[in-house]
Amino acid sequence: MRFGFHISIAGGFSKVTKRALDKKCQSIQFFSRNPRGWVCKPLDTSDVTAFTAAVSRTTIHPIFIHMPYLPNLASSDGKLWKRSVKELCADLKRAELLQVPFVIAHIGHSNDQAEERACERVSQAIERAFESVPNTVRLLLENTAGQGTEIGYCFSHLQGIIAGSGHGDRLGICIDVAHAFAAGYDVSTKRGLEKTLQEFDQCIGLGKLCLLHLNDSKARLSSRVDRHWHIGKGCIGIDGFRRIVNHPALRSLPGIMETPKKTERDDLMNMKVIKSLVEKTAIGYKRKGQ
């Protein structure tokens, strides 16, 4: 497994690579603009060139862009929905310019709709965005904890969105293990992890799983509360993460940590812990359809 963190773009993309290397990252994720605003300034060509050149001098891969927090692709509000689709289109275009192969999106909130209808809205948003931006960037749908009116907390939601989009070849899944745990998937135990992966494989197919967000959970199982915590210090625990990073169905995936950070020491601590859990050998794993 290739480990990394969400990296700040403060001061420009040209600074991302050094920050990643300082944290001993093998893979990275970042926002392409302000994550808490709607303003999307054009990319600076020289900054993009500096970023792509810096990345080419490293072995960091794969790289992911995370969409901002404000868009809601499930919204029943026509104005907000169209604006959210526009923001997705912008990140798909920015990813191509930055030579980043993946964009990660939060599923959204149903608010006053039935969950099934909200999932249909997400499918429609994806279809419209992909038709507007027909590049090769893949969109990864991130599962949620199911907090409030969030959809995407169960695998059937993700499967329905993919099936309804008409563009399954450009879609993949990012599983946040803290979100999964809070949503009721007990990835903290051996039996629970196996059951979770079997359900995912049967519902969606492990071939669609492209990324793990490796966050421990400060919230309990099935709490539907999204609270990230340091690796091994939360409810999933150190043994839970040992099984996750060494599982033969998961160990070849990238793992991005979004753990709390007060100082750089926190990131270095979490990187040290997660790497210490990796075992040298593992048996093969047969995925669905193989």
Over 80: is that where the pLDDT of 144 sits? yes
Alpha-carbon distance of 169 to 196, in angstroms, equals 23
Domain-embedded: residue 288 = no
Report pLDDT digits (tens) over 76-104: 999 999 999 999 999 999 999 999 999 99
Whether residue 289 is predicted with pLDDT greater than 50 in this model: the reply is: no
Does 137 map to a domain? yes
Domain extent at residue 230: 2-276
b/e map 109-132, b = 16+ CB within 10 Å: bbeebebeebbbbbbbbbebbbee
Predicted confidence band of residue 64 (pLDDT cuts 50, 70, 90) = very high
In a domain, 263, yes or no: yes
What's the pLDDT score for residue 39? 86
Look at residue 280 in the predicted model and tell me its pLDDT.
79
> Averaged over 221-239, what is the pLDDT?
98
- Tens digit of pLDDT for each residue in 192-206? 999 999 999 999 999
Given the structure tokens 């709390």, which residue do they identify?
A: 260
CA distances from 8 to 34, 188, 259 (A): 10, 29, 14
Q: Do the beta carbons of residue 78 and residue 123 sit within 8 Å?
A: no
**What is the pLDDT confidence band of residue 31, given thresholds at 50, 70 and 90?**
very high
Look at residue 21 and tell me whether its pLDDT is greater than 60.
yes
**How many Å apart are CA 59 and CA 263, to the nearest integer?**
25
281 pLDDT band, cuts 50/70/90, is: low
> Is residue 284 situated within a structural domain?
no
Q: Are 67 and 92 in contact (CB under 8 A)?
A: no
> Residue 236: what are its φ and ψ, rounded to 5°?
-75, -40
For residue 178, the domain's CATH number is 3.20.20.150
Report if residue 18 sits inside a domain: yes
290 occurs within a structural domain: no
Is residue 283 assigned to a domain?
no
Res 290: pLDDT: 37
Q: Is the pLDDT of residue 286 over 70?
A: no
Q: How does DSSP assign 229-248, residue by residue?
A: E-TTSSSSHHHHHHHHHH-T
Evaluate whether residue 48 is within a structural domain: yes
Count of domains in the chain? 1
Check residue 283 and give its pLDDT. 46
pTM value? 0.95
Just list the catalytic residues.
36, 66, 69, 106, 142, 176, 179, 213, 226, 228, 258
